């Protein structure tokens, strides 16, 4: 159209991943708010209530991911991200104005907020992978992880800056300020186009071509990608007009679905969010100092996460996905298991030893399992089931996150922190075994080539 203003690819990729800021802020903000909320509402000896308030967002996210996956196949990725941003705004404001001692109110509101968090975790990887060319998919999808950890670091800094306010004012502002980046996301997404793959699936070829012209440099590249998407779409729509959750576990798709969902589940059951949600309380238990005076530790962890995410952007498409996940998972597991062993051998070792090992864990997690989980979720699922599969993977990821957030304070009330983290360390090692035996390599392959891997696996099974 004459006079139409072209949208830059940088703008598209930036705001396509900006939902990660909200995702990260809401993951991180309770870390600093919890010590003040604990004192304000006298929750020090109520581990179950603390666990529910912390994990209620993740409980909502379980359903948000599944719902967004289904609705995005009908309404589009862009529209669902816009709806999620509005839920973020409302949920953040309602959290900040919770009535005094309104534990149930805050839990319910944070479940509502979790719907948007879960939706963002499912939609952003799918949107970014469908916009990115195969050679850059890992790096561009990794921007989502940089946004997530930047949001976490932002929340830690906000928590630290507000720590000298009266307790009841501090935690309310910490939670309520999430509305600000949500508004920014909504405004930015208004200018973003829909995913070209979604447009082609809905017979909007001209619109898809226009979107691809923003993000592909050559006409031949655009034509080739459109033909490839159309060919795959025709074959799969003919074979299965209406994909259902049963379709996900049919022989044709089961291998790739289990691989993607398994990676997403292991990422959370490995225990990373126990650190991110509770690091001030972990330091308090290790040192005996008040958790509200330990708010510099979340910032340190946040800086490690951001630096790690930037390292990932440099190496994302230079190393195989499986190699990075194997190395990262092994060192992460050892970082959790070694403190328990050393505590048995050296009973009077420094109580801060566990915090040092946790920092090693965070460093490796930051450029391996943290970003690569969402890269794999974004690229491993076949087109016709991508929305539902991404939603299912997101839901399993949030089930793990919810259980870790809920059970960690209960577990540490009944056993040592070293023993709890050793359990997570064993899960890290099991995750590595899963990667080596059940997950195919996806680096540098088009989404259509990855789908062929699942089909070939089916043929191998039939011929065995």
Reported as a single tens digit per residue, the pLDDT across 258-273 is 999 999 999 999 999 8
The pLDDT, as a whole number, for residue 464 is 47
Residue 235 forms part of a structural domain: yes
Residues in the chain: 464
Give me the CATH number covering residue 448.
Answer: 1.20.1250.20
Of 5 and 267, which is predicted with more confidence? 267
What value does the mean pLDDT take over residues 94-123? Answer: 90
What value does the mean pLDDT take over residues 5-12? Answer: 70
Cα torsion 321, 232, 131, 205 to 10°: value is 180
Q: Check pLDDT > 80 for residue 73.
A: no
Residue 403 forms part of a structural domain: yes
Q: Which of 316-320, 322-326, 432-436, 454-458 is the least confident region?
A: 454-458
Residue 1 forms part of a structural domain: no
What gap in Å lies between CA 297 and CA 290, rounded to an integer? 13
CB-count burial class (<10 Å; 0-12, 13-18, 19+) for 326: middle
What value does the mean pLDDT take over residues 61-87? Answer: 84
The pLDDT, as a whole number, for residue 235 is 63
Residue 7 forms part of a structural domain: no
Question: What digits encode the pLDDT tens for the residues 394-429?
Answer: 778 888 989 999 999 999 888 888 899 999 999 999
Tell me the pTM.
Answer: 0.80
Residue 109 forms part of a structural domain: yes
Residue 233 forms part of a structural domain: yes
Task: Assign 291 a pLDDT band (cuts: 50, 70, 90).
Answer: low
Task: Assign 241 a pLDDT band (cuts: 50, 70, 90).
Answer: low
Residue 331 forms part of a structural domain: yes
Q: Check pLDDT > 60 for residue 430.
A: yes
What value does the mean pLDDT take over residues 20-47? Answer: 87
Structure tokens at 300: 């340190």
The pLDDT, as a whole number, for residue 461 is 54
**Domain of residue 327, residue span:** 13-463
Q: Check pLDDT > 60 for residue 98.
A: yes
Q: Mean pLDDT over all residues of the chain?
A: 84
What value does the mean pLDDT take over residues 63-75? Answer: 79
Task: Assign 6 a pLDDT band (cuts: 50, 70, 90).
Answer: low
What gap in Å lies between CA 277 and CA 353, rounded to an integer? 19
The pLDDT, as a whole number, for residue 293 is 72
Residue 391 forms part of a structural domain: yes
Q: How many CB atoms lie within 10 A of CB 341?
A: 12
Q: Which of 156-165, 240-249, 335-344 is the least confident region?
A: 240-249
Structure tokens at 446: 């088009």
Domain count, the chain: 1
Percent of the chain residues past pLDDT 70, beyond the cut: 90
The pLDDT, as a whole number, for residue 301 is 92
What gap in Å lies between CA 309 and CA 21, rounded to an integer? 13
């Amino acid at each position: 159209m004459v006079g139409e203003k072209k949208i830059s690819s940088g703008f598209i990729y930036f705001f396509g991943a900006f939902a990660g800021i909200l995702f990260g802020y809401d993951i991180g903000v309770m870390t600093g708010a919890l010590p003040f909320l604990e004192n304000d509402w006298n929750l020090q000896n109520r581990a179950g209530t603390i666990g529910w308030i912390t994990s209620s967002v993740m409980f909502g996210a379980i359903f948000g991911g599944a719902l967004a996956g289904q609705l995005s196949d009908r309404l589009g990725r862009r529209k669902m991200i816009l709806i999620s941003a509005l839920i973020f705004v409302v949920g953040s404001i309602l959290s900040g104005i919770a009535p005094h001692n309104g534990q149930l109110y805050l839990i319910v509101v944070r479940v509502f907020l979790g719907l948007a968090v879960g939706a963002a975790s499912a939609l952003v990887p799918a949107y970014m992978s469908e916009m990115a060319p195969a050679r850059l998919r890992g790096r561009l999808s990794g921007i989502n992880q940089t946004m997530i950890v930047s949001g976490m670091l932002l929340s830690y800094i906000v928590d630290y800056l507000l720590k000298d306010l009266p307790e009841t004012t501090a935690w309310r502002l910490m939670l309520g300020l999430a509305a600000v980046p949500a508004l920014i996301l909504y405004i930015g997404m208004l200018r973003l186009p829909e995913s070209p793959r979604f447009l082609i699936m809905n017979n909007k070829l001209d619109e898809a071509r226009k979107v691809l012209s923003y993000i592909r440099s050559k006409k031949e590249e655009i034509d080739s990608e459109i033909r490839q998407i159309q060919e795959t779409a025709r074959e799969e729509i003919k074979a299965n007009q209406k994909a259902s959750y049963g379709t996900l576990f049919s022989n044709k798709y089961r291998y790739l679905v289990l691989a993607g969902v398994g990676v997403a589940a292991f990422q959370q059951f490995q225990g990373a969010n126990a650190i991110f949600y509770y690091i001030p309380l972990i330091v308090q238990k290790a040192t005996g100092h008040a958790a509200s005076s330990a708010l510099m530790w979340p910032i340190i962890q946040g800086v490690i996460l951001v630096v790690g995410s930037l390292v990932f952007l440099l190496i994302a498409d230079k190393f195989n996905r499986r190699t990075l996940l194997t190395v990262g998972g092994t060192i992460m597991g050892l970082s959790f298991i070694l403190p328990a062993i050393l505590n048995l051998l050296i009973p009077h070792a420094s109580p801060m030893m566990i915090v040092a090992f946790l920092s090693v864990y965070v460093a490796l997690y930051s450029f391996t399992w943290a970003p690569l989980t969402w890269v794999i979720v974004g690229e491993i699922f076949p087109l016709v089931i991508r929305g539902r599969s991404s939603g299912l993977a997101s839901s399993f990821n949030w089930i793990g996150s919810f259980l870790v957030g809920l059970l960690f304070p209960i577990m540490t009330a009944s056993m040592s922190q070293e023993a709890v983290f050793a359990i997570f360390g064993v899960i890290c090692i099991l995750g590595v075994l899963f990667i080596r035996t059940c997950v195919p390599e996806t680096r540098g392959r088009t989404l259509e080539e990855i789908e062929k891997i699942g089909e070939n696996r089916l043929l191998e099974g039939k011929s065995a």
